[in-house]
A and B are shown apart, each in its own frame.
Chain A
Amino acid sequence: MLSAPLVIGASFAYLLLLFGVAHFGDRRARQGRSVIGNAWVYALSMGVYCSAWTYFGSIGRAASLGVWFLPIYLGPTLAMVLAWTVLRKMIRISRSYRITSIADFIASRYGKSRLLAALVTLIAVVGILPYVALQLKAIASGYALLTTAPGAPPAAVGAWWHDSTLYVALALAGFTIAFGTRHLDTTERHEGMVAAIAFESVIKLLAFLAVGAFVTWGVFDGPAEIFARGRDVPDIDKLLRLEQDAPFAYAQWFTQMLLAMLSVIVLPRQFQMMVVENVDERHVKRAAWVFPLYMLAINVFVLPIALGGLLHFGIGGANPDTFVLSLPLAVGQQALALVAFIGGLSAATGMVIVEAIAISTMVCNDLVMPWLLRKPGFGSAAGSDLSGMLLGIRRTVIVALLLLGYLYFRVAGEAYALVSIGLISFAAVAQFAPALLAGMYWKGGTRAGALAGMAAGFALWTYTLMLPSLAKSGWWPDAFLGPGPFGVELLKPEQLLGLSGLDGLTHSLFWSLLVNAGLYVAVSLWRSPSAREAGQALLFVDVFERSSSSASGSGPVFWRGRAKVPDLLALAGRFLGLEAAQRVFVDYAKRVGVARVEQIPPDAQLVQFVETQLAGAIGSASARVMVASVVEEEQLALDDVMRILDEASQLRAYSHALEEKSLSLERATAELRAANEQLKSLDRLKDDFVSSVTHELRTPLTSIRALAELMLEDAGMDAVQRQQFLAIVVGETERLTRLVNQVLDMAKIESGHAEWRNAEVDLRALLEQAAQTTSEMFRERGATLVLNMPPQVRALHADPDRLTQVLLNLLSNAAKFVPHEGGRVEVRLSADEAGVTVEVQDNGPGVPPEQQQVVFEKFRQGGDALDRPQGTGLGLPISRQIVEHFGGRMWLRCEPGQGACFGFMLPWSSTQAEQA
């Protein structure tokens, strides 16, 4: 046993630590260095799902039902599998329309209905109250266990002012107020609170794992021993099987998974943490597996602790709900018991804080404000700043909620095991699911449908689950349970219409969800939605299509009428505080591109903006009413909604078209730039060409001029000398002529203006003719020319003159480069399927590798500049142009010591030859 001051001191020290964490989180947020802008923190903050109910109740459940503690965690795991699809959409919707609670979400979807918001809030409060009581009960019983001597009778329940649970409730209320309602934020985000919740998630997990490890390896000798010993006790052995005393209730298993799956989305505290407090929707990805992993980790030791407790205390020897405390105490580990208690306290406070903040927002915005606003004079009074009052209402609600929870605990708390209370709460909030989930994907759902479905579902929940549970705990006459009310058998709450064979929870959930969803669909289909409902439905269902454009302010706004900026500013000032409102308006003015607040155009966009800002503070339904009270608006018909939507989508289409256009413009610019580059490089090439040509022209011209001047000045030059000079002049002139001809030829071919006279060509004949023409040249150089041709070659369709030009060029080139003695040139002609190939092989020095690449370029002659033979440097380029014109290709093969081998291939048919 521990001393009471020690336990209380440790508890308060822990709460102060939590507060320190929250303070740190808030300070970092103000400095713009958020600690919660992190997927891990987001995932951990979802751990608020695991309340004291998990911490203590799971073991109690496992100790009596075996693996039945699992569906409560398997369901949320499955829900998180779809988080990226469903939860992300909820986050996007809430972010876009400043939705701050689940009541606001549902009400906003169905035309910002105040009635619906009030109904959701009511269900949430009634459903959650037992759950809050459960947390108080867990703390109270844990405290009692720690501070009571073992074996001593439980302390008698004293007068309420002696009851420590009351003070726990009040402390928690004070704490929640400090966390959640210090200032008014239009986004209802609480960074410090999220940091504290993530922290407490870590603490409760570590504490639970510490106890689990201690029980498994400290008290027993590992899990194998616990299970082996459990197997020997028949009552424990059956916990490890599905079929216990009765056949396995698979319908109940399925129901609990489904229930938990829905709850993890629709519980007000889960909505608060997962949707409202989300900083970045990409964090959902990480949370989709980290949160399930967290639940798995916190459940790993449940069975070992439960079985260990049963083995240690004997069945019925101690309350299994508190095994996590009583086992360490029983073996004298008081410090560990205190750690375990802190873990449980952590789980309970986390749940209470978040739930109370969420509920207080809902009650304030959706129950109290609408009632206040309806009071005559309140809404339109040119009144003072109401933001302080809003905070006051929320604080009152928090205190009231915890006191009600305490009351429930005092009255009904002892009657039920922890887990049953939790499941009853789950079944209540599950009534939100049809309207919430269907509303995000089906545009046809209407306010009347949602109201009818939810109200009927809630009524059935009350009748088939809540009342029987109250009756069983003894403070409601249970006479109606047995024979049915007024003796009507068919109305028996736990066997409605005679449906039997299901347990109470499954039975209730089946009826309530069936009627809920059925009425929702049926009533929705009764008539077509009103303009406002249709508008909201579009905004919700197509949020991913619209939110990108609404960021730029061009989303559809279903509003028409007249407004004045000062009126709207004054309205915003009343609920947000004057300073905050001024700031918000200045920002808006900047966004729409005007200098001063007075210049803001008082259009539908502005009205929408103000309404969204107000929605963050007082809920969308109240915001709608308040805005309507200061502007003159026209009633919209369904046609108008459609027209506004059309206009918006036209706008979107325009902007899309504009985007396309600018993209294609960009593309055109890039193309132009590339073309320009091309032109520049062509220009450079042309300059190079001109300078090469002029250089080639100048060399012969210089020598002609020099010789002519010599002859002019020296009148007495002897005839032989003169004759020699004149011969050189003639030779140089011929070279000039050849050069000019070739340049012209080249230019013609390149520009495509060359004339091609195609005919059937016999290459053998052409080659023989070319050999004939060049034979004198070869003889002069003492070289031999060998023709190596097949006896017959198919005729080719080409220009014979041009081909002759190519052949002559190759032959004369070869002749130029063969050695002075023993020169040998071999011409090979071969034909195959594809075409005909001609190769001219010499035994000259060959072409060095670095020059092989350039011999086909203009004015790049082979050989050294000093000893190279005469030539224009255009022969090979022209030859190649000709060959390529006929679809062939030309190459140079050069093996060291083998001389050079120029060759070309012409295909039998080429498109170009055909065209020509």
Chain B
Amino acid sequence: MGVSAAVRMERGYRREFRGAKETAMFEGLAAQRLLALFALGWLMLNFPLISLWDRRVSVLGIPLLPAALFVVWAALIALVAWVVERGED
């Protein structure tokens, strides 16, 4: 049982170590997500994708083009908020 206690302890340390590693991984993961959002933002808010909204259509009385730009913008902000605020663990 002395050995098993040591094994238990060793597992505890491993768990701690893994915890630290996961935090670091998350940092990396969040940074990668933000990088992906950066690319997504450039694509969605630029030519040629914005020309998709350039139609003479209204949504709830708002012309499609400005409405779509604001919605895409808001969605991007929401995604960034989700990535940075969801906590480290």
Contact = CB atoms under 8 A, between A and B. Distances in A.
Interface in B1-30: 1-2, 5-6, 9-10, 13, 30
B31 A80 contact: no
Interface residues of B, number: 41
Contacts of A254: 46-47
A46 to B, nearest CB: 14
B19 to A, nearest CB: 15
A242 B46 contact: no
A675 B7 CA distance: 12
A670 B42 CA distance: 54
B84 A77 contact: no
Nearest to B45: A74
A149 interface: no
A296 B51 CA distance: 21
Given A85-B34, A223-B61, A300-B70, A80 B9 contact: no
B65 A67 contact: yes
Contacts of B65: 67, 240-242
Given A67-B69, A286-B84, A675-B2, A77 B61 contact: no
Interface string B32-48: 00110110011001111
A288 interface: yes
A82 interface: yes
B9 A667 contact: yes
A511 interface: no
Contacts of A678: 1-2, 5
A543 interface: no
B41 A227 contact: no
B66 A222 contact: no
Nearest to B51: A242
A253 B77 contact: no
Nearest to A667: B13
Interface in A123-147: none
Contact of B31 (A84, A225, A300, A670): A84
A155 to B, nearest CB: 37
A581 B47 CA distance: 56
B66 A303 contact: yes
Nearest to B17: A663
A240 B61 CA distance: 13
Nearest to A75: B45
Interface string A206-237: 00000000000000001111011001000000
A289 B77 contact: yes
A81 B54 CA distance: 26
A77 B73 contact: yes
A241 to B, nearest CB: 6
A671 B4 CA distance: 10
A503 to B, nearest CB: 15
A243 B50 CA distance: 12
Interface of A is mostly: helix
A257 interface: yes
B33 to A, nearest CB: 10
B63 A240 contact: yes
B77 A292 contact: yes
A250 B62 contact: no
A240 B54 CA distance: 8
Contacts of B9: 667, 670-671, 674
A231 B58 CA distance: 10
Contacts of B30: 84
A227 B6 contact: no
A253 B47 CA distance: 8
A209 to B, nearest CB: 15
Contacts of B61: 222-225, 227-228
B69 A81 contact: no
A70 interface: yes
Q: Among B47, B50, B63, B69, which residue has the most Cβ atoms of chain A within 10 A?
A: B63
Contacts of B63: 227, 231, 240
Interface string B53-67: 010101011110110
A85 B80 contact: no
A81 B6 contact: no
Contacts of A241: 54, 56, 65
Interface in A69-109: 70, 74, 77-78, 80-82, 84-85
A257 B44 CA distance: 13
Contacts of A67: 65-66, 69
Interface in A653-693: 667, 670-671, 674-675, 677-679
Interface string A350-364: 000000000000000
A160 interface: no
A249 B38 CA distance: 22
Contacts of B54: 241-243, 248
B77 to A, nearest CB: 5
B38 A78 contact: yes
A293 B76 CA distance: 10
A294 B81 CA distance: 13
A247 to B, nearest CB: 10
B77 A248 contact: no
Nearest to A226: B61
B89 interface: no
Contacts of B50: 242, 253
A82 B36 CA distance: 10
A285 interface: yes
A289 B84 contact: yes
Contact of B62 (A84, A223, A253): A223
Given A227-B63, A241-B54, A250-B48, A288 B69 contact: no
B5 A675 contact: yes
Contact of A288 (B5, B58, B78, B80): B80
A667 B16 CA distance: 12
Contact of A289 (B41, B46, B66, B81): B81
A82 B31 CA distance: 8
A873 B1 CA distance: 25
A257 B45 contact: yes
Contact of B70 (A81, A85, A296): A296
A296 B2 contact: no
B13 A253 contact: no
A78 B45 CA distance: 10
Interface string B68-87: 01100110111011001100
B84 A74 contact: no
B37 A227 contact: no
Contact of A78 (B6, B41, B48, B78): B41
A224 B5 contact: no
B3 to A, nearest CB: 9
A126 B69 CA distance: 34
A164 to B, nearest CB: 37
B48 to A, nearest CB: 7
A222 B63 CA distance: 14
B73 A74 contact: yes
Contacts of A670: 9
Nearest to B13: A667
Interface in A280-323: 285-286, 288-289, 292-293, 296, 300, 303
23 contacts: A81-B80, A224-B60, A224-B61, A227-B61, A227-B62, A228-B61, A241-B56, A242-B65, A248-B47, A248-B54, A250-B48, A253-B46, A257-B42, A257-B45, A285-B84, A289-B80, A289-B85, A292-B80, A296-B73, A296-B74, A667-B13, A674-B6, A677-B5
Instruction: State the 8 A-B residue pairs at the shortest beta-carbon distance, nearest first.
Output: A224-B61, A250-B47, A289-B81, A674-B5, A285-B84, A240-B63, A242-B54, A81-B38
Given A82-B35, A82-B38, A242-B51, 12 more contacts: A67-B66, A74-B45, A74-B73, A81-B41, A224-B58, A228-B61, A241-B65, A242-B65, A243-B54, A289-B78, A289-B84, A679-B2
Interface of B: 1-2, 5-6, 9-10, 13, 30-31, 34-35, 37-38, 41-42, 45-48, 50-51, 54, 56, 58, 60-63, 65-66, 69-70, 73-74, 76-78, 80-81, 84-85
